[in-house]
Amino acid sequence: MAAKAKAIADSAQAELDLALPALDAALSSLKNLTRNDIVEVKSLRNPPQGVKTVMEACCIMFQIAPKMVADPNKVHKHSKKIHPLLRSNLFVYF
């Protein structure tokens, strides 16, 4: 039983060791963001896919569901729009 627990702990530590550098890089990048960066993203009518993906990740982290709105570029299609509450939560950090 102890060997099994040690194997699980070692596996978890190995995964943590892989994830920590990515976390450190993300935190470092976050510290470099300015209020103007957020304002610029907020003003984009159709942000690049990378921006949409990051904002969806923020919605997940803040547990806020993105609002579905009609996509003006595609008939009978909907797209996710950044929830206004998420925008206000992001401004807390700047």
Query: With bands split at pLDDT 50, 70 and 90, how would you rate the model's confidence at 17?
Result: very high
What six digits make up the tokens of 2? Answer: 């102890």
Tell me the per-residue pLDDT of 36-83, one tens digit each, with 9 for 90 and over. Answer: 887 887 787 777 888 878 877 878 887 877 666 666 666 555 555 555
Residue 87 has pLDDT above 80, yes or no: no
SS3 58: helix
User: According to the model, what pLDDT value does residue 76 have?
Assistant: 58
Residue 3 or residue 83, greater confidence: 3
pTM of the model: 0.43
Q: Which residues contact 15 (CB under 8 A, 6 or more apart)?
A: none
